[in-house]
Structure 1
């Protein structure tokens, strides 16, 4: 009977170690996107049940699962355990199928996602005019966002702030460039809605890039694990 190829065995170990590192990286990047202050409160505030970070939350789960699978693959290769290799193969195949399904679903629901985001942002305008604790975190996030991206207001400009404008006017203050006058103060002419959409799209591109790169690695992992599984069975 043919023995297990030492080259394949150690290649499988190295591959799965890199796969484990990949899972760690994915988990770290996904968490960074999820907790990023680049409009995080802006995207999730309001009464809308839609969550623009659903894909990122899924990616966090995928990253954690990949770390577990990478560990199984490493142990399966070094201990020549068919059980571990089979669990690794099945788990990896399920993740790949889920990624394909999520990709198809995301591609077919782009217009709906944009509509939900628009509805959420337009609904959040009401929070800018409120006082007290209701919407406080959202208003604080918006003032920070306005300073960083040099914009003022969410949809209709500084008028979105209503009677709260005087208290946040400093975050809208414009020294040069595209300025306008509102309530006797020079403020940014550009509203923040376009910058918020760009930030969401940037996060989506990162998620898609990771998913495609991961799919290639997963296919290689399926091939490696099945070949090694067969070789161990032929010993």
Structure 2
């Protein structure tokens, strides 16, 4: 091991093991966001071809790749393999560049994303009035969302449900006639519509994704420095 710092070597191994764990955590959180029932069906059940979870899908891919890179970095450090360390460095650099590009793209298209989300939600209002199997999953998701977040309808309140209101009334029902309730067809329902709460849920998920991405960028830069220093030391051995 002459010429190669043992401290650096095992620091690199520990770092990459933590990096692998970080990838596992990212993958787990991203999957949780993707399958979360807090409006998941609401976002995807309309006629829009736009996938509002595209950022989360990318994060799932990133988490899986990070797990592979972490394993590669661990092996490269322990075996003192310049080839593995170089592959680790290149892979990590590409991910960092992609994250920067995605961040810039996300910042510049923020207003467009909000517009698409609005259009998707407004299109989905029509589905609430439909009957039969058409849009059934969407309506079931909406009733669950209404009951959980104490809201009713998407845009116009209980009227959005049309003739389906009587069958879903329980999910909109207010226990007390408080200031948060209004009367509709002689029944008390939640006054607040769900559209604002759905947008808040989307923003909450986006903030989680952004926070993970920023934390990950710092770790990635450290990984680039560690791997290159060790790569050079092995070359000078």
Q: TM-score if structure 2 supplies the norm length? A: 0.98
Once residues 80 and 2 of structure 1 are traced to their aligned partners in structure 2, the CA distance between those partners, rounded to angstroms, is 12
Is 2:200 the partner of 1:234?
Answer: no
Alignment match, 2:202:
200
Alignment match, 1:57:
57
Contact 1:2–1:234 under 8 Å retained in 2: no
Is 2:10 the partner of 1:14?
Answer: no
Alignment match, 1:110:
110
Alignment match, 1:142:
142
Once residues 200 and 73 of structure 2 are traced to their aligned partners in structure 1, the CA distance between those partners, rounded to angstroms, is 39
Alignment match, 2:23:
23
Query: Which of 208-217 and 178-187 deviates more?
Result: 178-187
Alignment match, 1:186:
188
Once residues 64 and 232 of structure 2 are traced to their aligned partners in structure 1, the CA distance between those partners, rounded to angstroms, is 28
Give 1:56 shift. Answer: 0.1
Alpha-carbon deviations, 1:41-75, whole Å to 9, x = none? Answer: 00111110111100000000000000000000000
Q: List structure 1 segments (4+ residues) > 3 angstroms apart after TM superposition.
A: none
Once residues 44 and 210 of structure 1 are traced to their aligned partners in structure 2, the CA distance between those partners, rounded to angstroms, is 24
Alignment match, 2:132:
132
Once residues 97 and 84 of structure 1 are traced to their aligned partners in structure 2, the CA distance between those partners, rounded to angstroms, is 20
Once residues 64 and 219 of structure 1 are traced to their aligned partners in structure 2, the CA distance between those partners, rounded to angstroms, is 18
Give 1:209 shift. Answer: 0.1
- Which one of the candidate residues 220, 223, 226 is aligned to 1:221? 223
Q: TM-score if structure 1 supplies the norm length? A: 0.99
Once residues 52 and 211 of structure 2 are traced to their aligned partners in structure 1, the CA distance between those partners, rounded to angstroms, is 17
Alignment match, 1:80:
80
Alignment match, 2:89:
89
Once residues 220 and 107 of structure 1 are traced to their aligned partners in structure 2, the CA distance between those partners, rounded to angstroms, is 25
SS of residue matched to 2:182: strand
Give 1:175 shift. Answer: 1.7
Give 1:184 shift. Answer: 1.0
Once residues 47 and 196 of structure 1 are traced to their aligned partners in structure 2, the CA distance between those partners, rounded to angstroms, is 17
Alignment match, 1:44:
44
SS of residue matched to 1:155: coil
SS of residue matched to 1:181: strand
Q: Tell me how large the CA RMSD over aligned residues is.
A: 0.9
Once residues 39 and 232 of structure 2 are traced to their aligned partners in structure 1, the CA distance between those partners, rounded to angstroms, is 50
Give 1:2 shift. Answer: 6.0
Alignment match, 2:168:
168
Once residues 22 and 170 of structure 1 are traced to their aligned partners in structure 2, the CA distance between those partners, rounded to angstroms, is 42
Alignment match, 1:98:
98
Once residues 133 and 55 of structure 2 are traced to their aligned partners in structure 1, the CA distance between those partners, rounded to angstroms, is 29
Contact 1:2–1:231 under 8 Å retained in 2: no
Once residues 188 and 94 of structure 2 are traced to their aligned partners in structure 1, the CA distance between those partners, rounded to angstroms, is 56
SS of residue matched to 2:91: helix
